[in-house]
Amino acid sequence: MRLVLASNNAKKLVELQALFSPLGLELVTQGSLGISEAEEPYVTFVENALTKARHAAQHANAAAIADDSGLCVDALGGAPGVLSARYATLFNRPKSDDENNRVLLENMASHTDRRARFVSALVAVRSADDPEPLIAFGRWEGEVLRELRGEGGFGYDPLLFIPSLGQTVAELGAEKKNIHSHRAIASRQMLALMHEVWRLG
């Protein structure tokens, strides 16, 4: 069975290919099929992931899966949330990981409640009009530090400290991150759903 990934992120493709290999799925990116990226107009990860999955399924005429993920900070009412990748642009700053982290630190400067989490919503559909999308959700609890720590990862990884592991996400090796991360949690749920509902694997 071919599964279209509603993303052109090569790292995400490699990660999901490994996770879904037990099901015997052929995972291909929408970009390799000439499919443009979908709009993401919604305020929740699930709605955006569903929109992306349906878009890819419709244009590829095949089953599709999409991920929407980001950082949610309690003291900021859940921000940056679905706008995590372009958070800095909301404050008239350039779009980049460095600027996103600077803006987050500035907005958190007066807050003592540092609780936050990485969130991943994975949605899979058999077709664009599938009435029963599979939805998996992963949360990775942590705390926002007051300064960057670690050289690995990307995005907000140097700022999110994981108390249970005693390190920031940027200080974890890729292998350890892929075991504990929000996307890994969601992927394991999705694997079980595909096995149970789609009878794969």
Q: Is 68 a catalytic residue?
A: yes
> What stretch of H or E contains 119?
strand 115-125
> Which pLDDT tens digit goes with each residue over 159-175?
999 999 999 999 998 88
Residue 99 CA to residue 105 CA, distance in Å, equals 10
Residue for token pair 């400067």: 109
- pLDDT score of 157 more than 90: yes
> Which pLDDT tens digit goes with each residue over 127-139?
999 999 999 999 9
**pTM of this prediction?**
0.92
- pLDDT score of 193 more than 80: yes
Domains recognised in the chain with CATH numbers? 2-197 (3.90.950.10)
- pLDDT score of 113 more than 90: yes
Confidence of residue 186 (pLDDT cuts 50, 70, 90): very high
- pLDDT score of 200 more than 90: no
Spatial strand order in the sheet of 2-5: 26-29, 2-5, 63-73, 115-125, 134-144, 160-162, 167-168
* Catalytic residue from among 67, 68, 98, 129: 68
> Which pLDDT tens digit goes with each residue over 44-103?
999 999 999 999 999 999 999 999 999 999 999 999 999 999 999 999 999 999 999 999
Q: What is the pLDDT of residue 133?
A: 98
Mean pLDDT (whole number) for 169-188: 91
